[in-house]
Structure formats: structure tokens, C-alpha cells
Amino acid sequence: MSESIAIISDIHANLPALEAVLADIESQGIRELLCLGDVVGYGAQPAECIERLRARGFLSILQGNHDAYVASEDDPPNVSPETREGIRWTRARLSPEHRAWLGALPLTWQGSDCEAVHASMPQPQNWDYILEASAAAWHFRHQQQRICFIGHSHRPAMFVEGEDRALDITSLESIRPDRKQVINVGSVGQPRDKDERACYLIYRRDRQDVWWRRVAYDVSATQSAILAAGLPMKFAQRLAVGK
């Protein structure tokens, strides 16, 4: 079992951010990688991101809600008109094989000492958010391992079983040995915690801690690609402010 695992999520077709994060992972000498989904959506380079991930060995690449939306023929309910436009645009620019690949991605992953899901357990296909301690408490009742890694909200976070609020995390937090934890790894391609840099997490088994890494990338290149593709301006604007 490797000492460290790099965990990425919510790439959202942002190739410059993905390339920057993969380079940072490589610089750390980490060989085990896990992706928690939402490879596509919002951004202008979905096929390129899919191919970049497929060319790299991952323990698993999970399915996120945008991956499921793009793989389906039906538009999802309860999304904004801009999001629906982005989903349709992405469908039109992916091959049938790419969409089939997205549709076949697993919803969960079980490791030897941790587990992962895009959104939450026990019904991952419902895409429920864990944004507060009450949702985390419900999740802990269905969590099989001591540690569960999630994405979906685009915001780094850590909830500890028995605590009535999320931790005020720094970039480095110790794993609690005697309680369950659910840990949000943040977003590579569309951070929403007011930091525009790409975010991912390293789980260091030997030190029993988690380390959120922030990586600068060419935001303007991603914005230009989104605007050139004719996607909604909102998708480009939010990248510069991290929300």
C-alpha cells in the first residue's frame, strides 16, 4: 500500500487547471491517484480532459452529477438555464464513446483504509450535498470506513463524527484515529471558496494527515476557451473570483 494518495475532483473541463494539478502531483512523487468525478461540465475542453485522465493510471475515476447528465439523453431537472446550455453543448462535442465512458463510471470506491464518492452516501445517485454537520451526521451512519473523501460542493471541508460544525481547516489537518471523518477535497477546475487556484488533496497514510494543495494555473486561458466556445459568460467570470 502506497504511503500517499492524491485525490482530485470537479475538473469541469478545465484543461489548464488539470494539467497544473497533475504536474504538481508528479512533483510530489505520488503514484496513486483517485478522481471523484465531474470531469466535464462548464468548461470548454471536455474531450481533452477525458483523454488526459484516461492516459494516466488512476485507482478509480468516479462519476459525478455532470458526468451523468452529459451521458444521459435527458436534461436534468432543477438546474439553471446556463447549466442546461452547458450540458447540451458538452454532449454535442463528445463522441458516443466518450459519453458511454462517462455513463459507465462507478459511483463509489472502497480502499483498504478509506472510501470515496462524488457527493454522499448511501444514495450517491441523488447527488446530495454535505455542507453542514447535520448532513455529515447522517452520512456517518452509512459510512463504512473511518475516512470518506467527497467532492461536489467545490469547497474544501472536513467534518468529524460527533462535532456540531465543520472544522476551521488549515491546509493541513490530522486524521482523528477514533472517529469517522468525511473530507471534501475541493475542486480542480472551478473552486468556490474564493480562492481561484486549483485545489486537490493528498492523503498521507504514513503521517495520518490530509494536505490540501493550491496550484496556480492560467485562468485567462480557460476563460478565453469558454468564451470562444460560446458558452455562458458566467462560467468564465466565476473562475477569476473562485466562487
Model confidence over 93-142: pLDDT tens digits?
999 999 999 999 999 999 999 999 999 999 999 999 999 999 999 999 99
| C-beta pairs of 160-169 under 8 Å, 24+ apart in sequence | 161/136, 161/137, 163/133, 164/133, 165/132, 165/133, 166/132, 166/133, 166/136, 169/212
In sequence order, what are the residues at sequence separation of 6 or more whose Cβ sits closer than 8 angstroms to the Cβ of residue 126?
119, 120
- The whole-number pLDDT of residue 2 equals 66
Q: Which parts of 39-118 fold into alpha helices (H)? A: 46-54, 65-71, 81-93, 96-103
Backbone angles phi, psi at 173, to 5 degrees: -135, 140
Residue 173 CA, distance from chain mean position: 19
* Mean pLDDT over each residue of the chain, to the nearest integer: 96
The model's pTM is 0.96
- The whole-number pLDDT of residue 242 equals 85
**Overall average pLDDT of the 18-28 stretch:** 97
pLDDT tens sequence across 6-22: 999 999 999 999 999 99
pLDDT tens sequence across 189-216: 999 999 999 999 999 999 999 999 999 9
Locate 128 and state its grid cell. 446530495
Locate 182 and state its grid cell. 468525511
